[in-house]
A and B are shown apart, each in its own frame.
Chain A
Amino acid sequence: AQTVTQSQPEMSVQEAETVTLSCTYDTSESDYYLFWYKQPPSRQMILVIRQEAYKQQNATENRFSVNFQKAAKSFSLKISDSQLGDAAMYFCAYRSALSGNKLVFGAGTILRVKS
């Protein structure tokens, strides 16, 4: 069974600074997808960024980028120029290419942004 580990329960960053959230996963599969989701205090889960395992290039979405290391099974999220609105719980998630839309989530990292 696949597992996702987020080793940082909580992180803090100063507004306008950069922060990196860590995620590792365990799988024996070669075809899968990785995601970072954001869950603000309002509870609506929002997709931040996704990475297809077959793509070597790291995904980027505006201020959000990932460092995908397939051999190391690592998938970290970098947030540049942090904003107050980035404060939320961030979840790393894995989806096998063979198991429909089942997402396996990590425990989450609470990100606090200080002004």
Chain B
Amino acid sequence: KAGVTQTPRYLIKTRGQQVTLSCSPISGHRSVSWYQQTPGQGLQFLFEYFSETQRNKGNFPGRFSGRQFSNSRSEMNVSTLELGDSALYLCASSLVTSGRESNEQFFGPGTRLTVL
């Protein structure tokens, strides 16, 4: 079974531009979560999508948005890029089940975004 894939792997943008990152979850996984990883702030939760609905959101400004498609693929968008948005963006998928399951999350390799 293929793992979580993220495209593109590397991206360079300039301040003020917008960017869209893509995440394809493991087949059958319906939950996709996004995280931002920076040396200063560490790993921070951005949002989670399940069945095309955002069901959890972290403390990020409205410039960060996302969506999920019917095939569970997810995109996140960052508008009006700032230098501080330079980071590794990780997505994770999980097979959401009912009951007391730990719902293991499988991470993708990440997209390295550099804002100049």
Chain A interfacial positions (CB closer than 8 Å to B) = 33, 35, 37, 42-47, 50, 52, 54, 91, 95, 97, 99-108
Contact = CB atoms under 8 A, between A and B. Distances in A.
A101 B103 contact: yes
B110 A43 contact: yes
Interface stretch (B13-21, B48-56, B66-74, B76-84): B48-56
List the 10 closest A-B pairs by CB distance, nearest first.
A45-B107, A105-B43, A100-B56, A102-B56, A33-B102, A102-B45, A107-B42, A50-B102, A101-B33, A100-B55
A52 B104 CA distance: 12
A99 B56 CA distance: 7
Contacts, number: 62
B22 interface: no
Main secondary structure of the interface of A (DSSP, over half): loop
Interface residues of B, number: 27
A44 B109 contact: yes
Given A33-B102, A52-B100, A107-B42, A102 B50 contact: no
Contacts of B105: 47, 101, 103
B8 interface: no
Interface in B4-44: 31, 33, 35, 42-44
